Amino acid sequence: MKNSRRSFITKSIMAGAGLGVVSAYGNEYETAINKTSKLSAPADLKITDVKCAYIRGGSGLFVKIHTNQGIWGCGEGADAVPGTYGLVKMFGRMLKDKSPLNVHRLFEDIRKAGFFRGAQSGMYVAVLSAVETALWDLAGKALDLPVYQLLGGKFRDKVRVYMDTALYQFRLPKPEDFATSAKEAVDMGFNAVKFDLDQGNDPNKYDYYNWTASPAELQRMYDQMAATREAVGPNIDICADMHGRYDAVTGMKVAKMLEPLGLMWLEEPIPAENVDAYKQITASTSTPICAGENHYLAYDFREMLEKGAVNIIMPDLQKVGGLGEGQRIANLANLYYTPFAPHMVASYLGAMASAHVCASVPNFMILEWQIYFHKNPMFQEIVDFDGPMVENGFITVSNKPGIGVEINEEGMKKYAVEGVPFFE
């Protein structure tokens, strides 16, 4: 139809030129037509294949959804995805010949199909997160809109990020190392930093399996965070992560001990499963308690929010269920006046996908950012994008159709997991 219409107008313009008609009108119309997509109507768009690849020892999953019109969508899953190639292909068979524009419907079809296959959490949901994200990317490209617009628009053009310094405790860092690392992040333009406090090889531990912290461990934690605060001053946000590796008694002690330092939050002092234990810790301290990276789907956040178990929620959008589910969780939290601060340990594809959600909700607080983006060349090589990744502690949300970041298959190939099919 479009080609026929174009042919008719072109012939009319030529005829008009012979009659002395002003040619500028015809040129403008021709330019407008050339800018219009010649693809068939979005209603005819169908999924033809779903392919994937893994990097980082299998903990990084990248999904690419192909269609009959040559448009594709990319998505990423993190952490809970090793060994899931068969799951990706099963989801692909469920999606084949479907319209990718019905993102919520396809998400629900796959989720409901897995009621007896583990669709409540874990690998099933993490892989579904990658697939769902790729569907949003594909829909945005087909409709020529950025993902945040598909999610209802944006509250902000830039999203604030904090630097996870990756000063891992297994290296037994000293307080002065914390200070140096914090100042480095601030010098890079970040106004918020995060450090790990859990240390399995701390020589002062009673034993490896006993996660009640000894007095010497507690002193070590305090000294490290106090050095951080002294190094950056009062106007930089600092937070501490305990990775769910302590008991409730230790969680309460650490939270209380760190109160004078004014933390942005204390993250996951205990494992994710016991909401009532979280509520006990949160009620015992003025240090904000943050959790959620090991929770799945909005259902997992309902009880936490209803009971006031934490002060801040941090779902990981690369494993919680995807972008639509992330927005649902944020909107649910907004009813309880609870800030939304997503966890993010993915590539720049995952970071930008998360940024679209962060831009689309009112109660966004801050998004996680990783030092590896600056120090590991792999993270520059495996994606294609415009402009700088981050500037002065903010990600500018892409206005390109879809997510605005593409998978670079050639760049990714040398990091692929051996023995696992690569985008096949």
Chain mean pLDDT for the chain: 91
Q: Which CATH number fits domain 150-400: 3.60.15.10, 3.40.50.2300, 3.20.20.120, 3.30.1490.190?
A: 3.20.20.120
Token pair 């903010």: residue: 394
Average pLDDT over residues 107-134: 96
pLDDT of the residue at 201: 87
Terminal CA-CA length for the chain: 35
pLDDT for position 248:
98
**56 DSSP assignment:** G
Contact 252, 280 (CB under 8 A): yes
pLDDT at 13: 41
Confidence of residue 169 (pLDDT cuts 50, 70, 90): confident
Q: Which two tokens stand for residue 182?
A: 């914090």
Written out in words, the top-level CATH class of the domain with range 44-144 is alpha beta
Which 8-state DSSP code applies to residue 417? P
Q: Strands, DSSP E only, in 252-365?
A: 265-267, 289-291, 312-313
Q: Scanning the structure block, which residue is given the tokens 């972008």?
A: 323
Query: Given this model, what pLDDT does residue 195 score?
Result: 97
Q: Which residues of 239-257 are buried (b: 16+ CB within 10 A; e: fewer)?
A: bbbbbbbbbbebbbbbbeb
State the DSSP string of 65-120. EEETTS-EEEEEEESS-TT-HHHHHHHHHHHTTS-TT-HHHHHHHHHHHTTTTTTT
Categorize the per-residue pLDDT at 198 as very low, low, confident or very high, splitting at 50, 70 and 90. Answer: very high
Question: Residue 276 — pLDDT band, cuts 50, 70, 90?
Answer: very high
Integer angstrom CA distances of residue 420 from 54, 124, 215, 404, 417: 8, 18, 46, 27, 6
Asked if 401 contacts 140 with a C-beta cutoff of 8 angstroms, the reply is yes
Task: Give the whole-number percent of the chain exceeding pLDDT 70.
Answer: 90
Residue 30 has what pLDDT?
56
- Is pLDDT above 60 for 39? no
Q: What tokens does 252 get?
A: 């309460």
pLDDT digits (tens, 9 = 90+) for 42-74: 778 999 999 999 999 999 999 999 999 999 999
Contacts of 44 (CB under 8 A, 6+ apart): 68, 69
User: pLDDT grade, residue 279 (50/70/90)?
Assistant: very high
Question: Residue 28: which pLDDT band, with cuts at 50, 70 and 90?
Answer: low
Q: What is the mean pLDDT of residues 263-271?
A: 98
Is 0.85 topped by the overall pTM? Answer: yes
pLDDT bracket for residue 200 (50, 70, 90): confident
Confidence of residue 223 (pLDDT cuts 50, 70, 90): very high
pLDDT value at residue 24: 42
Helix or strand or coil: residue 378? helix
Amino acid at 292: G
List the structure tokens of 344: 């993010």
Tokens of 270: 């205990």
pLDDT at 22 over 80: no
C-alpha 270/C-alpha 102 separation (Å) is: 38
> Cβ distance 192 to 239 under 8 Å?
yes
Domain ranges of the chain: 44-144, 150-400
Q: Which residue has the tokens 């990706």?
A: 88
Strand duo 312-313 + 367-370: pairing: unpaired
For the segment 315-339, what is each residue's pLDDT rounded down to a tens digit? 999 999 999 999 999 999 999 999 9
How much is the pLDDT for 199?
87
370 — alpha (psi -120 to 50), left (phi > 0) or beta?
Answer: beta
Q: Are 324 and 349 in contact (CB under 8 A)?
A: no
Q: How confident is the model at residue 308 (pLDDT cuts 50, 70, 90)?
A: very high
31 compared with 394, residue with greater pLDDT: 394
Residue 129: predicted pLDDT: 98
